[in-house]
Amino acid sequence: MTGDDDQRYEVLPSHRGDSFREHVIRAYKDSPDDWRNVLGDQLHFQWGVYDHPDSPRPVSLDEAGARHLERQLALAGVLEPGHPAPRRVLDVGCGWGAALRHLAHVFPDCPRLDGINISPEQLAHCADLVREAHEAERIHLYLCDAADIAQLPDQEPYDLVLVRGAITHFPPDVYENATEALARRMEPGGLLVISETLYSEEFLASQPPLPPDTDHLALGHRKSLRYVTDVLENSGFRVRDQRVLPSPEEAARWVLELKSNIDFHFPKEASAPLEAIRAMAVDLAVALLRNEASVRSIIAERREEGRLM
């Protein structure tokens, strides 16, 4: 464990010498308070569902983010009456802990929820949430590269795994290795819930790589839906559902709202990652509305052991 508190997080040794890992860590080094000004108090950072964009009742970023997560859990079927509560949950790339906190509330009978991240700053914030919620017995945090999921302690299989907004940061080899490791750490029939910003094959073919010195959000490894789902199928998963969620209009609204918050709270200059959001927001909104990019919800089921490739 690390930190001065009784409950912080456990550091797992990395077996990778990947310079892009440090790139991702730098993207989230800013204070959670700065990010809260942009994302809302709960720090959901994976798009938002507004349901009725023209509704006269304002919908906050916190509410939109929670709606997106709830919609994905409903699509996975885990919120249906009579559905057994998950016994072990894993949140890969758990951010500042918004989804873990939500899951702990939705599944009060789940005895174990694990979160992994490679950002010490984000995990420290997660640890504070765990302590404040008195959930240290159930929620366990690990500083762990996704490629090292196999090293997580306690080999009891997971029956629900979330990977929301993390795959965008993974180099292809990390995504492929992590997906194979997840398949072997999940029980047959276990559910994998993914939310990711993906791009059309035509868009990827026409765009130059993002220059590393300006890629302050570590988004250089853009991916297509076909690539992401092919890796899932080849690693032992069956894709049950894949759809655009939120809608292009909602996604465009969400990213432009982030830009508006940055313009309001940091009118002159923000940190490099926040400036990157400000600079890319309009172009990304246009790409979403043109279907050159989309936010995809993917629900996959771990196949039976005998069917693993």
What is the end-to-end Cα distance of the chain in Å, rounded?
36
**Predicted local distance difference test score (pLDDT) of residue 4:** 43
pLDDT average, residue stretch 278-288: 97
The distance of Cα 199 from the centroid of its chain, to the nearest Å, equals 17
Judge whether 1 lies within some domain.
no
What pLDDT shows up at residue 309? 42
Tell me: the pLDDT tens digits for 237-246?
Answer: 999 999 999 9
Determine the pLDDT at residue 198: 98
Over 70: is that where the pLDDT of 306 sits?
Answer: no
Contact 232, 182 (CB under 8 A): no
> What average pLDDT does the segment 259-280 reach?
97
Q: What is the pLDDT of residues 177-231, one digit of tens each?
A: 999 999 999 999 999 999 999 999 999 999 888 888 889 999 999 999 999 999 9
Least confident residue range of 19-28, 44-53, 299-308: 299-308
**Interval 85-113 mean pLDDT:** 96
The residue segments making up the domain with residue 147 are: 10-307
What is the count of structural domains for the chain? 1
- For residues 189 and 288, give the distance between their C-alpha atoms in angstroms, rounded to a whole number: 33
Q: Which residues pair with 161 in a beta bridge?
A: 90, 192
Query: Does residue 2 lie in a domain region?
Result: no
**Is residue 213, in this structure, part of any structural domain at all?**
yes
Could you tell me if residue 124 is left (phi over 0), alpha (psi between -120 and 50 degrees) or otherwise beta? alpha
Whether 3 is in a domain gets the answer no
**What 3-state class would DSSP assign to 106?**
helix
> Whose structure tokens read 């868009």?
203
- Looking at the domain assignment, is residue 252 inside a domain? yes
3-class SS of residue 161: strand
The answer to whether residue 135 is domain-embedded is yes
Mean pLDDT across the stretch 21-36?
Answer: 94
**Looking at residues 25-46, what average pLDDT do you find?**
96
User: What is the distance between the alpha carbons of residues 31 and 309, in angstroms, rounded to a whole number?
Assistant: 43
Which pair of tokens denotes residue 245?
A: 């969620």
Q: How high is the pLDDT of residue 14?
A: 81
- What CATH number is attached to the domain comprising 236? 3.40.50.150
Distances (CA, A) of 222 to 33, 217, 230, 231: 28, 12, 15, 15
* 307: pLDDT strictly greater than 60: no
Q: What amino acid occupies position 151?
A: Q
Model confidence over 37-69: pLDDT tens digits? Answer: 999 999 999 999 998 655 666 799 999 999 999
Query: Does a structural domain hold residue 5?
Result: no
Where does the chain have alpha helices with state H? Answer: 19-27, 32-39, 61-76, 98-106, 120-132, 172-185, 201-206, 225-235, 248-265, 272-289
Domain membership of residue 163 (yes or no) is: yes
Identify the H or E element spanning 297: strand 293-302
Q: In sequence order, what are the residues at sequence separation of 6 or more whose Cβ sits closer than 8 angstroms to the Cβ of residue 268? A: none
Question: Which is more confident, 298 or 208?
Answer: 298
Predicted confidence at residue 212, as pLDDT, reads: 83
User: How many percent of the chain have pLDDT more than 90?
Assistant: 81
